[in-house]
A and B are shown apart, each in its own frame.
Chain A
Amino acid sequence: MTDRLIYLDNAATTFPKPPEVLREMVETYARIGASPGRGNHDLAAQAGAFVDGARARVARFFGAPDPTRVIFAANASDALNTVIQGLVRPGDHVVATRLDHNSVLRPLHHLAERGTITFDLAPFDERGFVDPDAIAALLRPNTRAVVMCHASNVLGTLQPVAEIARRCAERGVPLVVDAAQSAGQVPIDMAALGIAALAFTGHKALYGPSGIGGLVLMPGLEVETTRFGGTGMDSASLVHSQAYPLRLEVGTLNLMGVIGLALGIDFVAGLGLATLHDQEMGLLARLRDGLAAIPAVTLYCANDLAGHLPVLTANVAGVHPQDVGAILDGDFGIAVRVGVHCAPLVHRDLGTIERGAVRFSLGAFNTTDDIDRAIEAMRAIPHPGRP
């Protein structure tokens, strides 16, 4: 067993974080960690200015024109709740996909259970992609939005959001994209892609800390306030501030998280998204080839890695995936994610809902040696038919 952890659970959260991000985050917070935008002392103004700068940084990174429409949130799930619940009205219809994470499915299910909305789910094909025609076929006159993942957190497949956005635009339906997995992995230009709203998290491929994410809105999409409280503005009024971004933010911001997010974006932008992605996809192909050569291993939707993120999901015949994960961790020092990955419908359609599967997900710090060790470890797992 190696004496260092081989971390292949980067789709859950990237680890380790870049030391320079952590160091500078703490130093900056120690220097300006007042309540941003609250009070008239200079430190609060400095903190507020940092947050404004971070909004501009996020807007540029995602190709959105208006930094005031960058709303900070705790994570992508939080941002998705904000946009979904702030968009829909009683009687509305929403389209999502069977690839989606519970961060999309559960808010929709909750609203449907309450009788507020109805929703339909587009299927994915045998390669793990949603057909834009399937989305278009589900649109109704009362469809309020299409909400879907940019990339499956189970299969790693990047969905054709530009084409889907075009179909949505033809029907006047905004496309809300869950970019939890893709933000920081691939360039996202909301304006070019036609995305109306984008939910992202900072702790995955943006290499920031957990507890920070956000929602980016394009001009013209109005989202109602669904949580209310202090904003540091209009404090004499009992009405929640209605100007963006405060319209959708409540309480003191996670300033440390905002700092870390901005530094994380600088980190990935500095290295280059394409460089990082190519490096990780090269390693993923090596992993895929190595695992595919093990007869007991089943891979899901991984024959062709074009249009994929560095995520690979597998099972070992006759071995519970939780045992696979335990063996990889305990005997080989390899951290992976087992279970159904908060995406139950993907696993239902793959036929893995009962036990789940083993997900390998790569990050900026993985090496060829990590991959070779993971392949060897998978080869060593005992399974029925093997002594």
Chain B
Amino acid sequence: MAEPIRTRALRFVAGREVYFDTEGFFWDPDDWSDRAAEELARESGIERLDAVQWRVLRFLRAYYLDQGRAPLNRDLKAGTELSLVELERLFPQGIRLGARRLAGLPNPKTCLD
């Protein structure tokens, strides 16, 4: 019953080496870039991020950089002008592993478990 340890792996993404955690979240949110988001999106089945998807990612990043945390559910709705059901549909991997991960926000696992 050893304590699970959050591990990271080095990958080559968008022309540079970047650390990701075991769920594919950026280890360091500062490593995020538009190119990296596009590349990760393709891996998740989105051939090209569309304008609405980009609007969601831009909102998430701006909120995180301004507030130091992910938006509350109600702020996410208000900021993206989408319901969470619509957000879930917008990204093949959903809100957490889709939108949030592609926006380069930290893995919320530690605060939600």
Q: What is A's interface to B at a CB cutoff of 8 Å?
A: 105, 109, 319-320, 322-323, 326-327, 329-331, 338-340, 342, 345, 356, 380-382
Q: What is B's interface to A at a CB cutoff of 8 Å?
A: 1, 73-74, 76-77, 83-85, 88-89, 93-97, 108, 112-113
**Quick one: given A320-B94, A320-B97, A338-B112, are A330 and B88 in contact (CB under 8 Å)?**
no
Q: For A105, A322, A326, A338, which residue has the most chain B Cβ atoms within 10 angstroms?
A: A326
Checking B73, B89, B108 against A382 with a beta-carbon cut-off of 8 angstroms, the contacting residue is B89
Q: Which residue of B lies closest to A109 (CB)?
A: B1
Checking A109, A326, A356 against B95 with a beta-carbon cut-off of 8 angstroms, the contacting residue is A326
25 contacts across the A-B interface (CB closer than 8 A) = A319-B88, A320-B97, A322-B95, A322-B112, A323-B94, A323-B95, A323-B96, A326-B76, A326-B84, A327-B85, A330-B73, A330-B74, A330-B76, A330-B77, A330-B83, A330-B84, A331-B77, A331-B83, A331-B84, A331-B85, A338-B112, A356-B113, A382-B85, A382-B88, A382-B89
Question: CA–CA, A320 to B99, complex, Å?
Answer: 12
Q: Is the beta-carbon distance between B113 and A340 smaller than 8 angstroms? A: yes
Question: CA–CA, A381 to B74, complex, Å?
Answer: 17
Contacting residues, chain B, for A381 (C-beta < 8 A)? 85, 88
Contacting residues, chain A, for B94 (C-beta < 8 A)? 319-320, 323
Where chain A touches its partner, the secondary structure class is helix
Q: Which residue of B lies closest to A330 (CB)?
A: B73
Known pairs A323-B84, A326-B84, A356-B113; list 16 more (Cβ under 8 Å): A319-B88, A320-B93, A320-B94, A320-B95, A320-B97, A322-B96, A323-B88, A326-B76, A326-B96, A327-B85, A327-B95, A330-B77, A339-B113, A340-B113, A342-B113, A382-B88
A93 to chain B, nearest CB (A): 16
In the A-B complex, the 3 residue pairs with the closest CB atoms: A330-B73, A339-B113, A330-B84
Question: CA–CA, A330 to B74, complex, Å?
Answer: 5
Q: Is the beta-carbon distance between A320 and B83 smaller than 8 angstroms? A: no
Contacting residues, chain B, for A329 (C-beta < 8 A)? 73
A123 to chain B, nearest CB (A): 14
Contacting residues, chain B, for A326 (C-beta < 8 A)? 73, 76, 84, 95-96
**Quick one: given A109-B1, A338-B112, are A327 and B96 in contact (CB under 8 Å)?**
no
Question: CA–CA, A114 to B112, complex, Å?
Answer: 29
Contacting residues, chain A, for B85 (C-beta < 8 A)? 327, 331, 380-382
Q: Which residue of A lies closest to B95 (CB)?
A: A323
Question: CA–CA, A305 to B105, complex, Å?
Answer: 40
B80 to chain A, nearest CB (A): 11
A105 to chain B, nearest CB (A): 8
B53 to chain A, nearest CB (A): 16
**Quick one: given A109-B1, A382-B88, are A322 and B108 in contact (CB under 8 Å)?**
yes
Q: Is the beta-carbon distance between B84 and A339 smaller than 8 angstroms? A: no
Contacting residues, chain B, for A320 (C-beta < 8 A)? 93-97
B72 to chain A, nearest CB (A): 8
Question: CA–CA, A320 to B92, complex, Å?
Answer: 11
Contacting residues, chain A, for B108 (C-beta < 8 A)? 322
B88 to chain A, nearest CB (A): 5
Contacting residues, chain A, for B77 (C-beta < 8 A)? 330-331
Question: CA–CA, A340 to B95, complex, Å?
Answer: 19
A84 to chain B, nearest CB (A): 16
Contacting residues, chain A, for B73 (C-beta < 8 A)? 326, 329-330
Contacting residues, chain B, for A340 (C-beta < 8 A)? 113
Question: CA–CA, A381 to B95, complex, Å?
Answer: 12
Question: CA–CA, A206 to B94, complex, Å?
Answer: 37
Q: Which residue of B lies closest to A377 (CB)?
A: B85
Contacting residues, chain A, for B112 (C-beta < 8 A)? 322, 338-339
Contacting residues, chain A, for B97 (C-beta < 8 A)? 320
Question: CA–CA, A339 to B111, complex, Å?
Answer: 10
Q: Which residue of B lies closest to A353 (CB)?
A: B4
